[in-house]
Amino acid sequence: QVQLVESGGGLVQPGGSLRLSCIASRITVRTIAMSWHRQAPGKERELVAVIYNVERGTHYPDSVKGRFTISRDDGKNTVYLQMNNLKPEDTAVYYCYANVNGGYWGQGTQVTVSS
Q: CA-to-CA distance for 65 and 86, rounded, in angstroms?
A: 12
What pLDDT, on the 0 to 100 scale, is given for residue 56?
79
| Average pLDDT of adjacent 10-residue blocks, the chain of 115 residues | 96 98 95 96 96 88 97 96 98 97 96 97
**Beta-bridge partner residues of 49:** 36
What pLDDT, on the 0 to 100 scale, is given for residue 35?
98
Contacts with 94 (C-beta within 8 Å, 6 or more apart), sequence order: 6, 9, 20, 36, 37, 38, 48, 81, 108, 109, 110, 111
What pLDDT, on the 0 to 100 scale, is given for residue 63?
96
What pLDDT, on the 0 to 100 scale, is given for residue 55?
79
For residue 52, count other CB atoms closer than 10 A to its CB: 14
What pLDDT, on the 0 to 100 scale, is given for residue 53?
81
